[in-house]
Structure 1
Amino acid sequence: MLLLTEKDIRKVCSMKDMIGADERAYKMFSEGRTQSPLRPVIHDDTKNTDFIFMPAYAANLNAAGIKIVTTFPGNAEKGLPVTQGQVMLIDGDTGEFLSVMDGTFVTEFRTGAASGAAFDILGCKNAKTGALIGTGGQARCQLEAMLAAADLEEVRVAARDFEKTKRFVKEMKKIFRDFDGEIIPCETGDQAVDEADLIITVTPSPTPVFSADKVKKGATISGVGSYRDDMNELDPALFGMADKIYFDSTEACLEESGDVHRPLEQKIITEQDFTGELGQVILGQIPGRESEDEIIIYKNVGIGILDLVAAETIYRKARENRVGTRWNE
């Protein structure tokens, strides 16, 4: 069995590699070629913690996998990751466990790439300004994906704590020193999204993190953070403004996300206003962006097939490049 750390994964896979892997996963999912059941979540109300289990199988990859993730919001104050996990890759012929890899990083990597795929497929062609709301563990890969998917001149960042936002921006400037544009801290979400072409929200917020009326024509919004009913990053009014609404999995978003539940409950939209899944756009079954003025929402909650395709891609590249630690062989 091959053990792979974040450092190992970074050696063999770029963000553009992962965006390509996510696009393949979405295509397979919408073709119905995968088994990716809704994830069981064990939630502890007293601690506001989650234990999440995400299995998937793809016959054409001859592989199965499972990711086990924990989310402990209080870890931020302890200097520990809020989200932690492990991914296991399993051989589809023998049931052999092929690899265990850093699921915390795989989650950050493939979730960032999900926004990158959405911007690659649905973003306006002349996007120059990005906005990132959230500075937690997943924020770096979200920023990395945004920069990989579009030739931006400026990215504005906002979060609840402005001092933390400034520290995050300072660190990102060092990490992405080759980025020719500006990364700018903002005090509010409204300031960050004003006139932004590409917008990412990656927070567990129970209330909207910016006002819908700050969103410009032509913007593409990737809503990443809300995967439970009590999470609601996106202003419900935004759904009423949107020209198109896409999902990673319509079923999963309807089941899990407060971002989707609130505008439906408030009758701002109905399910007939949904455009479809990103995989259907890739397959040419439904249209993508048809005008540079369209406001497009891409709501994703994360589906197990993303982890499986990511893990299979990483494992194959690691074997080819002789990267990783062999265990019990």
Structure 2
Amino acid sequence: MTDTGTLFLNQQDVIDAGAADVDWVGAVLEQVFKLHEEQAFTAPPSSFLKRPECPHVADRIIGLSAHVGAPFDREGMKWIASSHINPEHGLPRANAVIILNDPVHRLPIAIMEGALISAMRTAVVQALAARYLARPDSESVGLVGAGRIGALTLWAISKWFPDIQHYRAFDQNAGRLQAFAEHMGTLGITVEPVPCFQDALSEADMGIVATTESEPYVTAPEFKRGALFMNVSLMDPTFELVSAADKIVVDDWHQSVHSDRVLARMHREGLVTRDSIHGEFGAVVSGHIPGREDPDERIFWNPFGLAIEDIAVASAIYDQALSKGLGKTLRLVDQEWDVLF
């Protein structure tokens, strides 16, 4: 292989390559979950950088690395940093960079803006989960957390569930909630701001939590019969809510229980085991286990968020960028590799 340089893609390049196309990203992610079921990937545990003087759950840097098998056959890392005070300063809470390497020589073939990829794959995974786990006749969606992930998740769901009648949202910051509703209106999605999280979730066919809360607060009455509860964030649902589920579905069992999220805490207390959950989402997508079987069953969906999702989407974006002539080629080394010797 000849070193052809490293393709640098900024956020606009990433968008132009397809990152904002829900159907396209969804097709990539559906492949990813099938590969997960086939074990056609390698992904070590995520690396967390947390400083003791910054105890907030959202104050961290995470390194997620993976190799994803064919048809992607690429490896790389997402380096995603987060600070809970950023929105107060007009900055995004999270920022990220993704580096892709070829799987043979391990040369860096791409460096790209990763926050949009990370947010889109998170949102589209929820829409994909809804396809398999929500009632197909769902009419209402409730959201807690009026941030970027929440907005993208509602947008992605609206693409695949055009008959949704009611979107309700709650956020502790009333100004942010109002701005969120106004922004969603420009996208053709009417969101009703509500005064408490109970009003957002208790009648929702799809309930979504996307916050940075560090302690559980959502209880079983907010998980109605027949609903899909999407635990996109960290610690919002109580043990009581999870225990009310007829089915628990995870993206990756090992990752889910080696964390500090609610399911991991329940596992450590012996309240949830591998045998007690319904299974992993890849098995549902592959048709090895059923998704929703009963319109009245409560399904708890616990997406940890997987590096293989990021690397596969980034790989597909890289291929699209090459075919469209997007980005700028950089050379990390201008001379021969052995110039010093």
Question: What TM-score comes out, normalization by structure 2 length?
Answer: 0.88
Partner residue in 2 for 1:17: 24
Partner residue in 2 for 1:247: 250
Does the Cα contact within 8 Å between 1:40 and 1:53 map onto a contact in 2? yes
Partner residue in 2 for 1:8: 13
Question: Displacement, 1:69?
Answer: 0.9
Does the Cα contact within 8 Å between 1:65 and 1:89 map onto a contact in 2? yes
CA 1:98/1:104 → structure 2, altered by over 3 Å: closer, same or farther?
same
Does the Cα contact within 8 Å between 2:47 and 2:63 map onto a contact in 1? yes
Does the Cα contact within 8 Å between 2:7 and 2:109 map onto a contact in 1? yes
Does the Cα contact within 8 Å between 1:133 and 1:209 map onto a contact in 2? no
Letter in 2 for 1:194: S
Is 1:148 the equivalent of 2:155? no
Is 1:201 the equivalent of 2:213? no
Does the Cα contact within 8 Å between 2:218 and 2:241 map onto a contact in 1? no
Does the Cα contact within 8 Å between 2:250 and 2:281 map onto a contact in 1? yes
Does the Cα contact within 8 Å between 1:2 and 1:326 map onto a contact in 2? yes
Q: What is the rounded CA distance, in whole Å, between the counterparts of 1:64 and 1:83 in structure 2?
A: 22
Is 1:104 the equivalent of 2:109? no
Partner residue in 2 for 1:224: 232
Partner residue in 1 for 2:140: 129
Is 1:284 the equivalent of 2:287? yes
Partner residue in 1 for 2:330: 327
Q: What is the rounded CA distance, in whole Å, between the counterparts of 1:290 and 1:93 in structure 2?
A: 43
State the SS of the aligned residue for 1:290. Answer: coil
Letter in 1 for 2:214: P
Question: Displacement, 1:225?
Answer: 1.1
Question: Displacement, 1:249?
Answer: 0.6
Question: Displacement, 1:172?
Answer: 1.9
Question: Displacement, 1:261?
Answer: 3.2
Letter in 1 for 2:206: L
State the SS of the aligned residue for 2:50. Answer: strand
Partner residue in 2 for 1:30: 37
State the SS of the aligned residue for 1:44. Answer: coil
Question: Displacement, 1:233?
Answer: 0.9
Q: What is the rounded CA distance, in whole Å, between the counterparts of 2:77 and 2:95 in structure 1?
A: 14
Does the Cα contact within 8 Å between 1:220 and 1:295 map onto a contact in 2? yes
Q: What is the rounded CA distance, in whole Å, between the counterparts of 1:156 and 1:21 in structure 2?
A: 29
Letter in 1 for 2:94: T
Q: What is the rounded CA distance, in whole Å, between the counterparts of 1:190 and 1:33 in structure 2?
A: 41
Partner residue in 1 for 2:65: 55
In the comparison of the two structures, how many residue pairs are matched? Answer: 320
Aligned pair partner of 1:87 in 80, 98, 110 = 98
RMSD (Å), alpha carbons: 1.8
Q: What are the ranges of 5 or more consecutive residues in structure 1 without an aligned counterpart? A: 227-231
Does the Cα contact within 8 Å between 2:167 and 2:191 map onto a contact in 1? yes
Question: Displacement, 1:203?
Answer: 1.1
**Greater radius of gyration (CA):** 2
Q: Percent identity?
A: 23
State the SS of the aligned residue for 2:12. Answer: helix
Partner residue in 2 for 1:75: 86
State the SS of the aligned residue for 2:26. Answer: helix
Residue deviations 1:279-298 (CA, integer Å, cap 9, x gap)? 01112222211011111111
Does the Cα contact within 8 Å between 1:123 and 1:220 map onto a contact in 2? yes
Is 1:167 the equivalent of 2:174? no
State the SS of the aligned residue for 2:13. Answer: helix
Q: What are the ranges of 5 or more consecutive residues in structure 2 without an aligned counterpart? A: 1-5, 333-341
Residue deviations 1:255-275 (CA, integer Å, cap 9, x gap)? 114221344466654443211
Q: What is the rounded CA distance, in whole Å, between the counterparts of 2:148 and 2:304 in structure 1?
A: 16
Does the Cα contact within 8 Å between 2:253 and 2:274 map onto a contact in 1? no
Question: Displacement, 1:97?
Answer: 1.6
Does the Cα contact within 8 Å between 1:257 and 1:301 map onto a contact in 2? no
State the SS of the aligned residue for 2:262. Answer: helix
Residue deviations 1:8-66 (CA, integer Å, cap 9, x gap)? 22223201211222221121112111001110101112123212110001242221010
Does the Cα contact within 8 Å between 1:200 and 1:222 map onto a contact in 2? yes
Q: What is the rounded CA distance, in whole Å, between the counterparts of 2:328 and 2:132 in structure 1?
A: 36
Partner residue in 2 for 1:229: none
State the SS of the aligned residue for 1:2. Answer: strand
Which is helix-richer, 1 or 2? 1
Is 1:183 the equivalent of 2:191? yes
State the SS of the aligned residue for 2:168. Answer: strand
